[in-house]
A and B are shown apart, each in its own frame.
Chain A
Amino acid sequence: MFRVLVAAAFFVLGQSAAYAAELDAPKIVGKVIDGFVRPAYHGFHQATSQLSTDVKALCSAPSGAALATARKAFGGTVDAWSKAEIIRFGPVTEQNRLDRILFWPDRKSIGLKQVQAAIQSKDETAADPAQLAAKSVAMQGLGALEFVLFGTDADTLAGTDGAYRCSFGASIAINLDTMASELEQAWNAPDGFAGTWAKPGANNPLYRNNDEAVGELFDVFVTGLEMDRDVRLGGFLGKMTAAEDKPKQALFWRSEKTVDSVAGNLAGMKALFEISGLGDALSDEMRWIENSINFEFANAARAAAGSEGPLTEVLADPQRRGRLSYFSVVTSSLSELFGKRLAGELGLTSGFSSLDGD
């Protein structure tokens, strides 16, 4: 389906750029930073703060209830991250944070092997957040913590046998919280990246004109939709038949957050689109593009809500599996609407997204 997107994106390249000059990049980007980016990272930081509190509480007083609380906080962190992670530029690209927060896909199960080895050997350096931050990206983020909290033998966390495992989990949670705090601060600093993005100009090293600044925003949709369709869903959902499904290749299958995370991405994009006011830049006769985008976002949310449950069960149930396939189709439609219709109408190029490099 990725080709549909590229076809769409390519098409707009020939269009005139006349409209782009009328886009008020500082205003649009300013709204996006204040209305979406900063709140999203604030929400992520709140979630990681709760997560580290709850995992530390589990370690000091292990119980079934405390484990359930920690697992719930993990789910909350995934939900918060799913909104924030659509922003794949700026401070999150510094210090390998994107990979350190979530190293995925991990096709060779590097993270799993490293996490199991740390638990096996009770590696004290991994239980120290400062030392963990310098270790392999695969063992210091959400994927590693998911195995600690939900993987084989995770139930030992409810008792004293899980003491080391819990301290490693707390170390990961604290490491995530540190990064979330750094991200929030970096975006909040008025002279930081936010200022650079919101003030394009000839002397701006990253955004030399309005096109490049708004293009960065646009790329969130183009890249995010492609990632959800080709990587997140395409990674486990068989292209032709259910026989080709690979549920254990799915992100967050252990915590049953697979569908929530793609739905969270789409919900984030929906919020971002509304806040940006990009739809307002359309002429009256082209407002249908905005309507169609909102219609498809609603379809995606409904399809995701109807495919809840453990992933193996969802995939075994033709109805729920069908809704996931439909979700994927909706992302294609949205790619067309953003990459072809909206980009064309606003005179933006979106042909070479970050996943598009060659």
Chain B
Amino acid sequence: MRTPLIDRRDFLKASGAAFAASLAPAAWAKTLDADAVFATAYQRRDGSYGAAVLSEAGKLLHQVDLPDRGHDVTFDPVSGRSVVFARQPGTFFVAFDHTGKAEPQTIASLPDRHFFGHGVFSPDGALLYATENDFDNAAGMVGIYDARDGFRRLGEFPTHGVGPHELLLLDDGRTLAIANGGIETHPDFGRAEMNLSTMKPSLVFVDRVSGDLIESHELPPTLHQLSIRHMDTDATGAVWFGCQHRGPATETPSLVGKAERGKELQLLDMPEDVLGGFRNYIGSVAANRDAGTVAVSSPQGNTFAVFEAASGRIVSDQSLREVCGLAPDHAGFRATTGTGEILDPAGGTVEEADYVWDNHLLRIG
């Protein structure tokens, strides 16, 4: 599974050859750990798939091969392990340690479940939660895995919706926010979306300990084709979500909104030119808590926009071919693209010649 490592020349250049040569394996691991800042799934230009940990400078520090296309990565700071999920309707996740202390582990979904590409660890690193499809019953599920026992599956609870996608753990360490995209799919029929005329997305808050539904938020019936997919939380704890519209392209509903406990969902009015640039498709959402901003990207529209969380005011709106991955970085955001670019907040870009980046970028350090 695992393929080695790092571009040694760059490391040597950066740190001095003598120093690197003198490093004991443990010290090497420590250096890797200190440099590891971002994680993402990728595709190589020969068509193979994997996940990578990148340095601040956008250098590949560690990589794992994947048997199929990955999607999002989640990270447990307690054990230092990352988990990359297969893209829907994928049937595996791979847990890996970018310092190379342990071999990667591949975990398969139950035969009557598949993953949706997203998951999250409990704050103590003991449990992993993953959005899953109980496809025969068209019911969204959260699978619970024991991260300290080989990711043994402990059980599941419902997401109270169809086609769950991203899930987040809120700051209380206990409440999960889950985006039920509302779209029914079944692996017998590939990625065909089977209920577009009746779909009903929702954003729910669920107690991860009891599995109880705390609140379910739905969009008004006229917006029932607005699939809620990706989310992040701002400094106030509000959940910002991004949508993909499955209705006609001539309709241009708001695509970004805010969910808070005890309040109605709020959709953000964006200027027409910014909204139009998204082509009815938000691919990822990231908040920069320190800067008080939120970024949303559209690979379909080749654009990403940043707005102030407090006011909703657009701070920037930038064209970037096939942009999707976003993560907070200093006072701005780092963005990755399906063409292989990594854009830093100052506007500089780097590439790893052989790699193109998948939909999500996670900050791990």
A residues neighboring B (CB under 8 Å): 2-3, 6-8, 10-11, 13-14, 17, 89, 93-94, 96, 98-100, 103, 105-108, 137, 193, 205-206, 208, 212, 226-227, 229-231, 234-235, 246, 249, 349, 351-352, 355-358
Contacts and interface: CB of A to CB of B under 8 A. Distances in A.
B191 A356 contact: yes
Contacts of A105: 186, 188-189, 192, 194
B194 A351 contact: no
B321 A17 contact: yes
Interface of B: 43, 45, 47, 68-69, 71, 87-88, 117, 138, 165, 186, 188-194, 196-198, 227, 229, 244, 247-250, 252, 276-277, 279, 281, 283, 299-300, 321-322, 337-340, 356, 359
19 contacts: A7-B69, A10-B356, A11-B43, A13-B337, A14-B339, A93-B249, A105-B186, A107-B188, A226-B190, A230-B190, A231-B190, A234-B189, A349-B322, A352-B281, A352-B338, A355-B193, A357-B281, A358-B165, A358-B359
State the main secondary structure of chain A at its contact with B: helix
A8 B321 contact: no
Contact of B356 (A3, A14, A94): A14
Given A8-B47, A10-B338, A206-B250, A2 B356 contact: no
B12 to A, nearest CB: 28
A103 B249 CA distance: 20
A37 to B, nearest CB: 16
A230 B196 contact: no
A62 B197 CA distance: 35
Contacts of B190: 2, 226-227, 229-231, 234, 355
State the main secondary structure of chain B at its contact with A: loop
A137 B197 CA distance: 8
Contacts of B252: 205
Contacts of B283: 358
A7 B43 contact: yes
Given A235-B189, A356-B191, A351 B248 contact: no
A89 B249 contact: yes
Contacts of A2: 190-191
B247 A93 contact: yes
A351 B188 contact: no
A351 B47 contact: no
B339 A234 contact: no
A212 to B, nearest CB: 8
